[in-house]
Structure 1
Amino acid sequence: MRLIQLFKKELSHEARSWVRDELVSEEQANSILARYGTSLTDDTETNSFGYYLLMSLGALFIGLALILIVSHNWDEIPRAVRTSSLLLLTLVTNAIGIKRFLSERTRAGIIWLFFGGISYGASIMLIAQIYHLGEHFPDGIFWWAMGILPLVIFTQSRLLAALSLGLASIWLGVESGEDFFPALYPLFVSVTLWLILFQARSRLLFIACVVGTMVWMNLGLAWMMGNGHHFDPVAEQLPLSLAIGLFINGVAWRLMRSDNSDWREYGLVTHIWLLRAAIVTLLGLSFEGVWQGYTPGSDWLSVVSVISILVAGVLAIVLCRESGRYASWPVMMVTGYLTFSFMLVTWFGHLEIIAAIATNLMLLLMGILLIRRGIDQSETHYFYTGIVVLLLTAFLRYFDLIGDYIGGALLFLVAAGILMVAAKYWKRRVSLISLKRGENSE
């Protein structure tokens, strides 16, 4: 799976210029683009999507301006007039949207429904204010998001799904902030996933669903511990987040092997962002002081942390076992490293230095694997990511010497040796590829 999959819109634009310059025929260009799940017409669809997006933002600003105008003279308007006006505005905008959608003016209908969704939310909030209904204000946001959800299913619109999921995510935050658990949040994630997996494609919504699910699961753990939304993100939540990340990475590799080009794209973008998050997390854990937040003990949280990482790692290995060594081997190494490190610091005392050293070794191994993967698959993204990992690790250890000066010097020497060997291996491979191309041309 190449990173060019993420830039297929740009590839479609380039292919149109190839056809225009008569470098390839239109049939050949479409055959090339079909490998990446796109076609020459996708460039035109991008232009129309830009118009659609600008119109949607225009509808949003009109709705916000209308709310401000009404709010300016709000107290002077009779209560009955205010209520009836809000209800009428919501009914009319949604009725126009549904009528245009059913008459096959799909995008115009969705824009009207988007405007109607904003009117619906404003009506909930303002009518509640007029009649002093309810003291738990997150309920208004919840019913706003819930009211849009049927329209998401009916229209299969990504714009309405983004509005519904965005409101649900706001409700997730404010509901937990009021010391209540947002138990129904997965309903909104499930509907959004159904839409983008089976009806329409959206990398942004897919990543939003993944992030939202991870946040919701962390909140669930906090509530199980009796802390509500007050939790220590490192000492209490990090092990669960790492376990979830391992499992999602296995799912991402499975998606990358799918026959569906959109699913492959979802898997690739998820894998790339998880890789970046893993690098940042390991760089943080490479400091001894971070591990000191885990106090030794036999409480149930430490046991659950280790078990969750181990189970998630095994499931991830099962999911990506058919994807090659660059999928299964890193998962096995990270699972073993995390299990060992968290067992060490939560079950024994004064061994944080060993966990920090293990983290630095893990970073070196990750850098080596990324460099090797970039060379073997001729993908510079992974090659340079591996080099950056090694350089950042060496840079951090220069200011935070683990194992005193001798240990830091040894780490620098190991990193230097890896970089030099990688450079020679890369040069040799490029020479072999050039030689093969020369033989083929003859």
Structure 2
Amino acid sequence: MRLIRLLKGELAREAAEWVEEGLISDAQAEGICRRYGADYHAINSRAQGYAVLVGLAYLFLGLALITVLGANWEEIPRALRMGGLVLLTVSTHLAAILRYVHGDRRAGIGLMLLGNLFYGASIILIAQIYHLGEHMPDGLFWWALGCLPFALITRNPWLCLQANLLALVWFLLEVFNGYLPGLFPLFFLSSAYVLWRGPQSALLMLVAVASAGLWVEYGLSWLWGDGASGLLFDIHPENLFVAAGLFLLLFAFSHWLSQRQDSKPRDYAALLSIWSLRFALLFMLVMSFARPWRALLEYDWQHQLGLWTVQLLLGAATLWLAYRAGRLLSVALLFAALLIVQIALIFDGNPDHAVAFQLVANFALLGTGIWLIVRGITNGISHYFFLGVTAILATAFLRYVDLIGDYLGGAALFTLFALLLMLAARFWRRVREGEGSL
């Protein structure tokens, strides 16, 4: 029942049809929808459609005004340009505040989004007037920072998403210039506050989590780097294991959230769990080749102290959340497996053993696919079932394209895969027959 939380509009419509068919009462339909935070009377779906259309209209209105100003920019006197930009930005935000205070919150939010666009255009154009372009990313930072108070006061996800996306662009531009954006956490922490206190927003949650992960990874990369690579991330193999630890932390956090009483944290838990699982499968698919293992075995591991410190901190937080969620055993086994692989790579250091690591990764991937299929059938989670089937088929296709060893070795591996799947199927049939006899 996890994915049904992501389809609330569909649930409300289905509940209405059940009432019409006499399967449930109107009160029962309202109770079901209330259980998952859905609107039984389908009011929200129409309002959201209206809000999206109005928001797009405001967006194109802002683009039209900016285009007109840009086309006639050189003909307008400098003082008039400056005053017009300030007046346009201030008047739009004043109109937005008045509409918001007087109860028309959707129109107020739309005007705030438009005013933020005008604010950003004003920063860019005023910098052009007075030739203030020494460090271009600074303009984006002040643009994002100017959007943030409106998002925090209204606790609106769209305003916060606008500020976070602008901050993310600023972060990437600073990275391209080789700097560490120290104030970037201000934005994704603000997003976390809005997610906690404001309306539900899956998109804002994903952007905030991605922003936090990027900042942690780049901060470690910047700390471990020697500055010789110049731009962008100076990726180290240590970053790979930190990323795995971060997603394991998210997985434990999702189980902790799923224990909350409100529907909103449970919805976030379902989304985090799904994306953590997808990352794990993608990571295992990448590691099903020999080349990544060979590169890891050839690496010097110069930053072991930092890696182990970060992993221990992540592990402590992960295990604490898993303990609070009642999933300590499964999460502890996953964390132990991650540490075992990390230790084996650091202390082995022989690239000739890459194929052995590859074989273990392929069998782990196959086992994960089987577990997902069985879990999906047992608990009625279709996403797990199809994800498990996809993982097994992708493994078979990749092994056909990139054979392990020679053709006979590939055929032997496929045969072993088939035997494991047949054994899993027989075990599954025996379990089902045992349940039927009871």
1:72 and 2:74 are equivalent in the alignment: no
1:394 and 2:401 are equivalent in the alignment: no
Rate the CA distance shift 1:9–1:97 in 2: closer, same or farther, 3 A.
same
Query: Is the 1:296–1:345 contact (alpha carbons within 8 Å) kept by the matching residues of 2?
Result: no
Query: Is the 1:101–1:107 contact (alpha carbons within 8 Å) kept by the matching residues of 2?
Result: yes
1:427 Cα deviation from its structure 2 partner: 5.3
Rate the CA distance shift 1:372–1:208 in 2: closer, same or farther, 3 A.
same
Aligned equivalents of 1:434 and 1:29: distance in 2?
Answer: 32
1:432 Cα deviation from its structure 2 partner: 7.5
Aligned equivalents of 2:39 and 2:76: distance in 1?
Answer: 55
The 5-angstrom pairing of residues 49-128 of structure 1 reads 49-128=48-127
Of the three residues 278, 281, 286, the one matched with 2:280 is 278
Query: Is the 1:309–1:335 contact (alpha carbons within 8 Å) kept by the matching residues of 2?
Result: no
User: Which stretch shifts more, 303-312 or 251-260?
Assistant: 303-312
The match for 1:8 is 8
Aligned equivalents of 1:144 and 1:287: distance in 2?
Answer: 44
For 2:45, give the aligned amino acid.
Answer: T
Aligned equivalents of 1:116 and 1:218: distance in 2?
Answer: 33
For 2:220, give the aligned amino acid.
Answer: L
1:408 and 2:410 are equivalent in the alignment: yes
The match for 2:419 is 417
1:302 Cα deviation from its structure 2 partner: 4.1
User: Which stretch shifts more, 364-373 or 205-214?
Assistant: 364-373
Aligned equivalents of 1:421 and 1:295: distance in 2?
Answer: 34
1:7 Cα deviation from its structure 2 partner: 1.5
Query: Is the 2:362–2:395 contact (alpha carbons within 8 Å) kept by the matching residues of 1?
Result: yes
Aligned equivalents of 2:254 and 2:405: distance in 1?
Answer: 37
The 5-angstrom pairing of residues 229-378 of structure 1 reads 229-231=231-233, 233=235, 235=237, 237-294=239-296, 296=298, 299-305=301-307, 308-309=310-311, 311-313=313-315, 315-321=317-323, 323=325, 328-329=329-330, 331-347=331-347, 348-350=349-351, 351-378=353-380
Aligned equivalents of 1:314 and 1:87: distance in 2?
Answer: 51
User: Which stretch shifts more, 310-319 or 379-388?
Assistant: 310-319
For 1:376, give the aligned amino acid.
Answer: T
1:181 Cα deviation from its structure 2 partner: 1.3
Aligned equivalents of 2:55 and 2:100: distance in 1?
Answer: 15
- Percent identity (aligned): 37
Rate the CA distance shift 1:53–1:297 in 2: closer, same or farther, 3 A.
closer
Aligned equivalents of 1:232 and 1:393: distance in 2?
Answer: 30
Uncovered stretches (5+) of structure 1, i.e. residues with no partner: 437-442
The match for 1:179 is 178
Cα-to-partner distance string for 1:367-411 (whole Å, 9 max, x where unaligned) = 232123223313232123223222322322233333545543443
1:144 and 2:143 are equivalent in the alignment: yes
Greater relative contact order: 1 or 2 (C-alpha under 8 angstroms, separation 6 or more)? 2
For 1:177, give the aligned amino acid.
Answer: F
User: Which stretch shifts more, 294-303 or 277-286?
Assistant: 294-303
Rate the CA distance shift 1:390–1:304 in 2: closer, same or farther, 3 A.
farther
The match for 1:383 is 385
Aligned equivalents of 1:399 and 1:422: distance in 2?
Answer: 25
Paired residue secondary structure (1:292): helix
1:22 Cα deviation from its structure 2 partner: 3.6
1:36 Cα deviation from its structure 2 partner: 1.8
Query: Is the 2:221–2:234 contact (alpha carbons within 8 Å) kept by the matching residues of 1?
Result: no
User: Which stretch shifts more, 106-115 or 28-37?
Assistant: 28-37
Cα-to-partner distance string for 1:74-105 (whole Å, 9 max, x where unaligned) = 11110000000000001110000001111111
1:287 Cα deviation from its structure 2 partner: 0.8
Aligned equivalents of 2:297 and 2:196: distance in 1?
Answer: 42
Aligned equivalents of 1:12 and 1:170: distance in 2?
Answer: 37
Rate the CA distance shift 1:340–1:84 in 2: closer, same or farther, 3 A.
same
Rate the CA distance shift 1:349–1:368 in 2: closer, same or farther, 3 A.
same
Aligned equivalents of 2:297 and 2:136: distance in 1?
Answer: 39
1:24 Cα deviation from its structure 2 partner: 2.2
Query: Is the 1:309–1:338 contact (alpha carbons within 8 Å) kept by the matching residues of 2?
Result: no
The match for 1:129 is 128
Uncovered stretches (5+) of structure 2, i.e. residues with no partner: none
Cα-to-partner distance string for 1:350-380 (whole Å, 9 max, x where unaligned) = 2322322221222122123212322331323
